[in-house]
Every structure is written in structure tokens, then in C-alpha cells.
Amino acid sequence: MKSRLLIEQHFHGAFGVNFNTANVDDVLYLSKEILKYGIGGIFPTLVTDSAANIKRAVAVIKEAAAKQTAGMAKILGVHLEGIFINEKKKGIHNPVHFLAPTVENYKLLEDDFIKIVTLAPELNVDLMGYLREKGVKVQAGHCVGGDLTGCSGTTHTFNAMEGISHRGKSTALSALINDDLYSEVIADGVHVSDDALKLFFKCKPVDKVLLVSDCLPCTKYTLAICGKGQCEGLYKFMFADSEIFYDGKQAASKDGTIAGSTTLLPDIIKRLHSVGMFHPQYIENPYNYHNIDDIKGAVEWDDECNILRVCSD
């Protein structure tokens, strides 16, 4: 199989790089390394932080985008996941930094390089309309509301949202039955069970599925350092103001809250293929969602969805 390069719209870092704390050189390094895995476009994703730190991180990512050269995955904009979310579904995010989703608060960190904002629609006052006017994708996530009017999509469907209910509305239920919504899903085998994935893929139109990794800075990094004997037992690092422990399968806080994935997008595709749930259309969907037509290159896959070759311009 031959496909376009992958686009990753939800990930917090990899190769030891954390987008919330990275400098320009870190971001450029990551964009170069990740292209080797067939990922040609990225939306660096910021977890909840202070408004000042988010503004700084966005500026760093934007500067890195302006300095990119050939042989790097194109930085397409920032995905702001946190700060305007519901504490009831906070996940690993630190509620100390949460702000009401108002235009006034958004302007504390606003930048035209923010292209996706995940928020809790049920908390909205006036921000959603403002974002849509600016051309920003509004995604429902870390929320409990079932009314997704005005949203472009849903963030890591099932995770950190109100689950399916047979009475009344819920976020996950609305995501599944709304054929106009694009919906992210983390199909790494840890975040969502295979039965729930089967339901997701059965309900969502094939052209509205967004495969994402939600991967963490330790992705493709812990294996390298632990292989050199530099760690014993659990690998520990800081993320979203929390101490995170990685056991070789999942990364979670001390209380067991999963912090994100440790699997890059091509490995997720390989896994989905192995259980009969992959469709080539999933690779095309982010291009359509974001109206992207300027990423050149291709990925060649074998029959088991292993990457044979990455060709980029």
C-alpha cells in the first residue's frame, strides 16, 4: 500500500521533547525525527498550563515553524487541549490553571497559530462563536455535555468525556451519532478497548475518523535510554505538573490516571490492521478536516502495515 504522509493532530511530544517546555531547537529536532516515521504534518498539542506559559510555548512553536527546513514534518499549528475544560473530566490536567471559556480569557494567550482548541462546550459563554469566526477548529473534550452544537469535532473520543448513556444526552453518544462531526480516537489498545473501537468504527462515517496518538514526551525516548541501562524499573518524568510513571505499556500518574499514549501513529495503524479495523481513508481524513494540500511525500507500507519507505520532498 502507498499513502500520503500521516498527519498527527494531537500529541504532546516524543523523543524526550515536551511541547509545553520545549525550546525552538527541541521542536525542530522533533519535527525532523518524526518525519522518519512517515508523519509529514504535526499539530503540537499543549496540555493545561498557566496562560503565560501557554503563550510562551505557542510563540516557541510558531518560531520553530518559521525556521523549518527540508526533511522536517511541517508544523501546521498548535492544538490547545487544556485550560478551558471541565474539572469533572480533568484527566491528568491540573485544574489550578483552568479558566472559564470566555473571549476575554482566550485573549490572554491568543495567537493566530492556534488552530485547534479543545474545550468543554457546556461551560461555554461566548468563546465557541469567537473561535469559529477566527477559523479555529472547536473540539469537545474533557467535558460532560451532550450538546455539541458548534463543535467541529471531538477530542480523544471516550476518554475524559461523559460516556454512552441510554437515557438523555452524553458527549460520547453525541459524537457517535453525529455524522457531521470529526472524531479523534486513540486506538493504541490502552486507552480504548477493542469492543469500544468496533462500536466507534461502526458508528462513525469512514471519512470522519481522526486517528491520533496523544503521545507523550517519553515516546521513542524511554526505550533508547533504558536500552543503555540508564533506568531501572519504572521510568519517571514530569508532565502536566504531575509525576508520571511509565511501565513499558502505559504512562500514568501515581493514582493511576492515564496521562497519554506512548505509541506513535504508524504503530497505531499497524495495530488496527492486525485486528481488522484499519481503513486507508483514515490517513486522508486530517487533510480534508484541515483543508491541507501542500504536504508532499508518501509512505510505502507492506501487507502488515509496516513502513517500508518514507519519501518526502
Percent of the chain with pLDDT over 90: 89
CB 187 within 8 A of CB 200: no
Q: 167 is written with which cell numbers?
A: 437515557
- What is residue 171's predicted lDDT score, i.e. its pLDDT? 97
- What is residue 165's predicted lDDT score, i.e. its pLDDT? 85
Fill in the DSSP letter of residue 310: E
Given CATH 3.40.50.800, say whether it is the number of domain 2-312. no
- What is residue 213's predicted lDDT score, i.e. its pLDDT? 98
More confident residue, 230 or 256: 256
- What is residue 221's predicted lDDT score, i.e. its pLDDT? 79
Q: 183 is written with which cell numbers?
A: 472524531
Distance CA(129)–CA(124), nearest Å, equals 9
CA distances from 178 to 151, 154, 183, 288, 312 (A): 11, 11, 10, 18, 35
Question: How confident is the model over 50-79, as a mean pLDDT?
Answer: 98
pLDDT in tens, 189-240: 999 999 999 999 999 999 999 999 999 999 997 655 454 444 545 688 899 9
- What is residue 298's predicted lDDT score, i.e. its pLDDT? 97
Q: 143 is written with which cell numbers?
A: 467535558
Fill in the DSSP letter of residue 290: T
Strand order of the sheet with strand 2-4?
A: 2-4, 297-301, 307-312
Distance CA(45)–CA(41), nearest Å, equals 13
Return mean pLDDT, the chain: 94
pLDDT in tens, 84-133: 999 999 999 999 999 999 999 999 999 999 999 999 999 987 899 999 99
- What is residue 222's predicted lDDT score, i.e. its pLDDT? 63
Percent of the chain with pLDDT over 70: 96
- What is residue 269's predicted lDDT score, i.e. its pLDDT? 98
CB 76 within 8 A of CB 41: yes
pLDDT in tens, 137-150: 999 999 999 999 99
pLDDT in tens, 276-303: 999 999 999 999 999 999 999 999 999 9
pLDDT tier for residue 247 given thresholds of 50, 70 and 90: confident
H or E stretch at 195: helix 194-203
Distance CA(63)–CA(75), nearest Å, equals 10
Fill in the DSSP letter of residue 228: T
Positive or negative: CA dihedral 310, 312, 59, 55: negative
For the chain, state the CA radius of gyration: 18
CB 118 within 8 A of CB 270: no
Residues 6+ apart with CB under 8 A from 300: 1, 2, 307, 308, 309, 310, 311
Question: How confident is the model over 12-39, as a mean pLDDT?
Answer: 97
